[in-house]
Amino acid sequence: MPDHVHMCISIPPKYSVSYVVGYIKGKSAISIARKFMGESRNFTGESFWARGYFVSTAGLDEEMVREYIRHQEKEDEHYDQLKLGM
């Protein structure tokens, strides 16, 4: 998606959700910055991701969540079209 990321991940109970999300955001921001902003820049103090995040459990309906993620862009486009018709 152009303005957000969906992920379906499994986190072992020994790690907190906030730790895992922070780790993913931190490492990916560094990697993206190095790839698109050049190796020579110092990235201290810059931010790439928004501060917040949303988490939900998949439980027994994990496949339903995966389908939602796969088709999210089409669903968003459909919803946007409905809003335009109002």
Is 68 one of the annotated active-site residues of the chain? yes
Q: What angle do CA 30, 32, 38 make, to 5 degrees?
A: 90
CB 67 within 8 A of CB 73: no
Between CA 84 and CA 67 the distance in angstroms is: 26
Q: Which of 23, 53, 68, 79 is catalytic?
A: 68
Which residues are marked as active site? 68
